[in-house]
């Protein structure tokens, strides 16, 4: 059992320690491109100028991604916050197995190849972009080329269009080279490699936290059964949606059909299906749809062909989703919550549906469920099921009221919450809505600080990555709306109403999200675990 040692010089405060994660709120330029700057935020402005405020790195190698050009995301951000250390993540972990050839030498890949040699098609469902947040198209290309070299004659690609972690209308930048590769294989090998179906990531297949199973159903219908709006090519589908003023991430499902209006890529018995995304949150539901038996009741799957389904990674290690996967995920052991429950510290985690798994599953090291239900309470506030620019307040006020209720019971020494507004509304690219989202977080933070002060506690305000801080970028003199995460640093502020010179900020040269867990331990009166990254405070 992992245990903490008590500090000699500090035992914490009588009140609770509250961690407020302002998802997607970072430090950007102080100009019209930054919704955080444009918003009316006197409380946050004051906090950011405090001597107990330090910017944290929330992207790139600081959160386990391949390079510092890789934007952070909520998954790796909450992993780092909860784990107190940096683990190889997402693309970095998958890249290693592709570079070493481990993917192609594994038993699962050989099963897929054997099915292909027996006439089964290999289907690839993937978020088609190079953002390295959920997927990377280079992994798709490597697998297609490997199959072609081996002599597998039939492959189908089912692209999910991004427009969220990349530019809003960049789909053709990824579709065109994909089509070129498929055409090259067709011409050189005479094989049947084509795009079969697709849709926008926020409308097709990639739901998370069971917010809207209809999204998954639309993907299932298109990918598996060839049911959807028919087009002669993927480029035709995309251009049609653009003409209808629909951006990539919100496109409906579409199916590529032949001259007889029949789908070119419906799945059949004996086929294999690879879900190429490596990030877990938006991969779990579609994996359940493929892996579940006849007891599956989330939607009517209709025809369920006998396919071999594989995820890129294991998306939930506790629930064993999916049953088969190509790349082993990072093993994240000893998250800070495990230490705290072993000290019998009561704690809660709360967010709305869109970020609920981030303060639970990802925070706990990619493990679902409670670590110890005796000392933990998890609260999920159901998210709206409409585009978030239409309701930029989201559920921030409901989260705030429930958090106050939990704090005032006196049963919890530590609480953590996530306000999703800056990220989820930030992804829409609608400036007025993003500003309102930040204004909402400002009001809620101020209200929570009043309660923490009344209870004699401490608050920490931080974020997992940037987004709302970069509404657009200027390239070659042209303004381009930006809906993806930023590479900007994020806030970290300690608000300690009982402070009496017990500690100072450590002054780490390049502080990051992984330094937060040790700081939480210190502020609760404990030494940091030996293998955790350095605390942001010293005594």
What is the phi-psi region of residue 392: left when phi exceeds 0, alpha when psi lies from -120 to 50, beta otherwise? alpha
* Positive or negative torsion for Cα 461, 462, 463, 468: positive
Q: Does residue 74 have an active-site annotation?
A: yes
User: Catalytic pick from 74, 170, 351, 535?
Assistant: 74
Among 368, 93, 409, 31, smallest CA distance to 210 is for: 368
Please give the Cα distance from 152 to 114 (Å, whole number). Answer: 9
DSSP string, 495-511: EETT--SS-EE---SS-
How many CB atoms sit inside 10 A of residue 384's CB? 16
Contact 193, 155 (CB under 8 A): yes
Contact 50, 512 (CB under 8 A): no
HEC string for 332-372: CCCCHHHHHHHCCCCEEEEEEHHHHHHHHHHCCCCCCCCCC
Q: What is the DSSP letter of 129?
A: S
Contact 500, 93 (CB under 8 A): no
Please give the Cα distance from 139 to 534 (Å, whole number). Answer: 35
- For residue 203, CA distances in Å to 53, 249, 252 come to 39, 7, 6
The percent of the chain in helix, strand and coil, each rounded to the nearest 5, is 35, 20, 45
Q: Which residues of 408-437 are buried (b: 16+ CB within 10 A; e: fewer)?
A: eeeebbbbbbbbbbbbbbbbbbbbebbbbb
- SS3 at position 378: strand
Q: Which helix (H) or strand (E) holds 156?
A: strand 154-161
Omega within 30 of 0 (cis) for the link into 322: yes
Chain centroid to CA 488 = 17
Active site residues: 74
């Amino acid at each position: 059992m992992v245990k903490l040692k008590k500090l000699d010089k500090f035992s914490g405060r009588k009140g609770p320690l509250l961690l407020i994660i302002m998802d997607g709120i970072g430090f950007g330029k102080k100009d019209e491109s930054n919704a955080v700057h444009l918003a009316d935020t006197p409380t946050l402005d004051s906090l950011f100028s405090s001597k107990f405020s330090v910017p944290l790195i929330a992207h790139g190698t600081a959160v386990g991604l391949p390079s510092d050009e890789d934007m952070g995301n909520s998954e790796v951000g909450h992993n780092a916050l909860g784990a107190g250390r940096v683990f190889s993540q997402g693309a970095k972990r998958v890249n290693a197995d592709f570079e070493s050839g481990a993917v192609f030498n594994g038993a699962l890949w050989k099963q897929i190849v054997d099915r292909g040699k027996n006439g089964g098609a290999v289907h690839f469902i993937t978020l088609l972009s190079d953002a390295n947040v959920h997927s990377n198209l280079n992994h798709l290309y490597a697998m297609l080329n490997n199959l072609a070299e081996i002599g597998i004659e039939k492959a189908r690609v089912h692209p999910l269009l991004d427009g969220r972690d990349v530019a809003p209308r960049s789909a053709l930048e990824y579709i065109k080279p994909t089509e070129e590769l498929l055409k090259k294989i067709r011409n050189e090998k005479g094989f049947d490699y084509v795009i079969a179906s697709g849709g926008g990531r926020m409308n097709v297949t990639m739901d998370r936290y069971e917010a809207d199973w209809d999204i998954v159903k639309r993907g299932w219908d298109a990918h598996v059964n060839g049911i959807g709006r028919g087009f002669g090519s993927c480029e035709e589908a995309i251009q049609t949606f653009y003409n209808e003023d629909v951006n990539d991430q919100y496109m409906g499902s579409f199916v590529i059909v032949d001259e007889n209006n029949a789908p070119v890529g419906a799945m059949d018995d004996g086929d294999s299906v690879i879900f190429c995304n490596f990030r877990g949150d938006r991969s779990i539901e579609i994996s359940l749809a493929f892996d579940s038996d006849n007891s599956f009741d989330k939607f009517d799957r209709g025809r369920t062909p006998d396919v071999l389904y594989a995820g890129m990674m294991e998306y939930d290690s506790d629930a064993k989703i999916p049953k088969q996967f190509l790349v082993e995920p990072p093993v994240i052991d000893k998250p800070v919550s495990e230490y705290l429950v072993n000290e019998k510290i009561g704690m809660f985690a709360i967010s709305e549906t869109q970020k609920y798994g981030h303060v639970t599953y990802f925070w706990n090291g990619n493990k679902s469920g409670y670590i110890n239900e005796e000392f933990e309470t998890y609260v999920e506030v159901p998210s709206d099921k409409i585009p978030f620019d239409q309701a930029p307040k989201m559920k921030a006020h409901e989260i705030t009221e429930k958090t106050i209720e939990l704090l005032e019971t006196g049963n919890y020494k530590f609480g953590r919450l996530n306000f999703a507004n800056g990220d989820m509304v930030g992804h829409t690219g609608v400036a007025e809505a993003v500003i309102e989202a930040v204004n909402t977080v400002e009001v809620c933070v101020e209200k929570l600080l009043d309660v923490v002060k009344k209870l004699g506690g401490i608050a920490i305000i931080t974020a997992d990555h940037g987004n709302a801080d970069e509404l657009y970028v200027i390239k070659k003199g042209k303004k381009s709306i930006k809906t993806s995460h930023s590479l900007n640093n994020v806030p970290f502020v300690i608000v300690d109403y009982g402070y009496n010179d017990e500690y100072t900020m450590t002054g780490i040269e390049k502080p990051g999200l992984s330094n937060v867990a040790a700081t939480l331990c210190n502020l609760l009166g404990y030494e940091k675990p030996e293998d955790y990254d350095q605390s942001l405070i010293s005594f």
